[in-house]
Amino acid sequence: MQKYLFNYSNLSFRCLVILCFLFTYGGLVAQVPFVCQNNFYFSFGSGFGSSQLHEVIIDNSGNVDFVQLPQSTGVNLNAIGYRSTDNLIYGVGTQNERLYKIDATGASFPLVILEVNHNNGFYAAAITPDGNEMILVEQTNTFGGSSVALVKVDLTNDQYPIIARIPLVGQSVQTTDIAFDPITGILYGFDANQSRLIKINPDNGSIDANFPSSNVADKMGGLYFDAFGKMFGYGNAQNDNNARTFFGIDKETGIVTNLGTGPNTSSKDGCACPFTIDLLKNVTPRQLVPCTEIAYAFEVSNLSGAEITGVNLADTMPSDFIIVRVDKNPYGGTVSGLGTNILNIDNMTIPLGQDSLVVIVEPQPFAQGIYKNQAYLSNLPEHLGGQSPSDDPTTLLSDDSTAVEVFPLMVDLENQMQNLCEGATIELVAGTINGIDYQWSTGETTPTINVAEPGLYAVTITNGCEIEFDSVVISEEPISVDLGADITINLGDYLDLIPTTNAIGQLQYVWTENGQIITCSVDCSALEERPFFNTQYEVQIISQSGCVATSTVNITVTKERGIYIPNVFSPNLDGINDQFYIMGKGYAQILIFQIFDRWGNAVFSQSQGSINDKSIGWDGLFENQNVENGVYSYYAKVIYLDEIEESFFGDVTLVR
């Protein structure tokens, strides 16, 4: 990660032991300046109590911690900013708008009551990179008040006069902190109304709000930049009433990223000191084999305000590494250590801005495992901490060593797929790490090849000091499956679908009905179905090696709806034609079956059951008494399995 954070223990405690106790001489109170090392400070308290100044620490898991400075400010502070020219923090008291200085112990020193509109609030501030002016954001004190103006305080005058009040123009915004980009000088804020990044012109108050609304953050109580111009913030995540989230902010696109969570804060503001010399150490590639070159890039940012001379760079590489050459060095100095594992570049000159030097290193043949190391810039001015350790920009943790992993040269084709499915290809992988030369028996020189034919395939790999060889036999696996010829069934009939296949071993079966997947039982090798409509079934088999075969069968369902209702029956209990019931083909259900005498009186009614079931037919009784011989009328309605309904009317003669 960019070295925008550092542990409070990095402060020079020797200096603090001597200087952190306030002393008085001639009526003046000594102040302990901060050591500017790209650190981020956060001031927060509760209600109108005293604010405590903290340094923000983040570990590699994204956990945020606040480390208190030794002393309390003794006042409720907001609108703080870091001044590069004296390495002190300036802030405004929330109760009377008095300006304060805060030193490295956390103690505050009252200056003057600012001549501002005391009916409004001042919760956001930043100090210009040159240290000459403090910019305050004036905000109305109504609920959800708007930011209405920028107020400029002259920090070069010990009376700290207000030199300008510039109304904000354009869209209405509410920003609770602002920060200057230390590289471009652009002033940024975060608008809580629209949850988006904004730019503010400190000369005319115009607002550039051409950034998208964030779906990650709602508010930013603290904004700051690191020495490489990367932007960060601390505040409220979306739909979170607690200000406890640490964010990364892309100053070009306005996109906000959640980096971690920490303590909840209130009455808060943040500032940082990017006006220092900072060192990042990256490496390419991060995974390699022995005897292959890697490039360490040492990126240096100098925002200290002056060119720094006499700077030394030292980096002790792992003992298994040899420094080959310096490919790029814009800083000059005397280079030593080529051919060894210890790099020293003495008496470098670090100009203002950002640049990098590149060192080429080669792991030796016996190197293997994860290697970490860290570089140091030394002989820096005391106010910049004397030295600066390198930081790995790919991690969240600050001031951490840079890691590479060296793998042994090896190739393994035998444990890759060896069965070639019909019409398919197999990818053979000989390696995925840079710095290896490949020679396949097919003539190809790439790390991977695609195989479409069975046969013997071999590869030779080398890293310049070792050679490895491996081969594999690829066999073709033609598999097939067959559901047989198309089938015709009657409506309501069951059918068994049993595929035949030449595949052996454990197979996976996937069935579909008209394109929709069928959930089958544990044993899916066969399927029992009862389709009511014309249907297409498909089975797909998958072998253990991943080969696939499919087959389909079309089912035609005939729908003969032959319903037969007799016109005479003889319920004389002789066992012959004793019941009057509905007969026919198929599996129709009876919705209603009624019989009426010649005067229209219902003598029988049935509303359930299936056709061809004589047990639910009429036995010639009405209220347990035999009815007279004669002609009776009937009405029947049935429904078939495909939900088609059909009605019937007619007469039946009862003869005993």
CATH architecture of the domain with range 563-654: Sandwich (2.60)
In the three-class reduction of DSSP (H, G, I as helix; E, B as strand; rest coil), residue 155 is classed as coil
Taking residue 656's Cβ as centre, other Cβ atoms within 10 Å add up to 13
Angle at 4 between CA 3 and CA 8, to 5 degrees: 95
Residue 296 has, within 13 A of its CA and on its CB side, a CA count of 32
Mean pLDDT for the chain? 90
Q: Is the pLDDT of residue 203 over 90?
A: yes
Q: Is the pLDDT of residue 3 over 80?
A: no
Top CATH class of 8-20+34-272 equals mainly beta
Q: Is the pLDDT of residue 264 over 90?
A: no
Q: Residue 48: pLDDT band by 50, 70, 90 thresholds?
A: low
Q: Which pLDDT belongs to residue 47?
A: 54
Cα distances (angstroms) measured from residue 432 to each of 288, 293, 362, 369, 572: 9, 16, 19, 16, 92
pLDDT digits (tens, 9 = 90+) for 137-162: 999 986 668 999 999 999 999 999 99
CATH architecture of the domain with range 481-558: Sandwich (2.60)
Concatenated DSSP letters of 195-255: TEEEEE-TTT-BEE--SPPPSSEEEEEEEEE-TTS-EEEEEEETT--SEEEEEEE-TTT--
Q: Averaged over 568-578, what is the pLDDT?
A: 94
Q: Which pLDDT belongs to residue 143?
A: 62
Backbone angle region of 508, left / alpha / beta, with phi > 0 → left and psi within -120 to 50 → alpha: beta
For 370, the enclosing helix (H) or strand (E) is strand 369-373
pLDDT digits (tens, 9 = 90+) for 224-256: 999 999 999 999 999 998 899 999 999 999 999
Q: Residue 20: pLDDT band by 50, 70, 90 thresholds?
A: very low
Closest to 105 in 3D by CA, of 31, 43, 6, 29: 31
Q: Residue 46: pLDDT band by 50, 70, 90 thresholds?
A: low
Closest to 197 in 3D by CA, of 244, 158, 255, 243: 255
Q: Which pLDDT belongs to residue 282?
A: 97
Q: Which pLDDT belongs to residue 49?
A: 73
Q: Which pLDDT belongs to residue 478?
A: 85
User: Is domain 277-406 annotated with CATH 2.60.40.740?
Assistant: yes
Q: Which pLDDT belongs to residue 58?
A: 82
pLDDT digits (tens, 9 = 90+) for 465-505: 999 999 999 988 888 999 999 999 988 889 999 999 998 88
CA distance 50 to 45: 6
CA distance 629 to 597: 10
Cα distances (angstroms) measured from residue 84 to each of 4, 133, 221, 278: 16, 11, 22, 15
Domain ranges of the chain: 8-20+34-272, 277-406, 419-476, 481-558, 563-654
Residue 481 has, within 13 A of its CA and on its CB side, a CA count of 26
Q: Which pLDDT belongs to residue 158?
A: 94
Cα distances (angstroms) measured from residue 210 to each of 35, 171, 179, 183, 244: 36, 11, 18, 21, 27
CA 129 to chain centre: 35
Closest to 134 in 3D by CA, of 108, 97, 170, 105: 97
Taking residue 336's Cβ as centre, other Cβ atoms within 10 Å add up to 12
Concatenated DSSP letters of 573-633: SSSSS--B--EESS--EEEEEEEE-TTS-EEEEE---BTT-GGGSB-SEETTEEPPSEEEE
Q: Which pLDDT belongs to residue 17?
A: 35
Q: Is the pLDDT of residue 69 over 70?
A: yes
Q: Residue 545: pLDDT band by 50, 70, 90 thresholds?
A: confident
CA distance 76 to 316: 47
Cα distances (angstroms) measured from residue 442 to each of 432, 451, 455, 475, 486: 19, 10, 11, 17, 46
Strand order in the sheet with 175-180: 175-180, 187-191, 196-200, 207-208
Cα distances (angstroms) measured from residue 142 to each of 79, 145, 218: 18, 5, 19
Q: Residue 263: pLDDT band by 50, 70, 90 thresholds?
A: confident
Tokens (6 digits) for 271: 């500032």
Greatest extent of the chain over all pairs of C-alpha atoms, in Å: 139
Q: Which pLDDT belongs to residue 23?
A: 38
β-bridge mates for residue 247, sequence order: 233, 258
Q: Residue 94: pLDDT band by 50, 70, 90 thresholds?
A: confident
11-15, 556-560, 614-618: which has the minimum mean pLDDT?
Answer: 11-15
Strand order in the sheet with 231-237: 217-225, 231-237, 243-249, 256-265
pLDDT digits (tens, 9 = 90+) for 374-385: 999 999 999 999
CA distance 217 to 205: 24
Concatenated DSSP letters of 496-541: EE--EE---SS-EEEEEETTEEE---S--SSEEE--SS-EEEEEEE
CA distance 92 to 77: 6
Q: Residue 650: pLDDT band by 50, 70, 90 thresholds?
A: very high
Residue 1 has, within 13 A of its CA and on its CB side, a CA count of 22
Q: Averaged over 87-100, what is the pLDDT?
A: 93
pLDDT digits (tens, 9 = 90+) for 403-414: 999 999 999 998
CA distance 44 to 268: 4
Q: Which pLDDT belongs to residue 652?
A: 96
62-71, 286-295, 335-344: which has the minimum mean pLDDT?
Answer: 62-71
More confident of the two residues 383 and 21 = 383
CA distance 288 to 480: 44
Q: Is the pLDDT of residue 24 over 80?
A: no
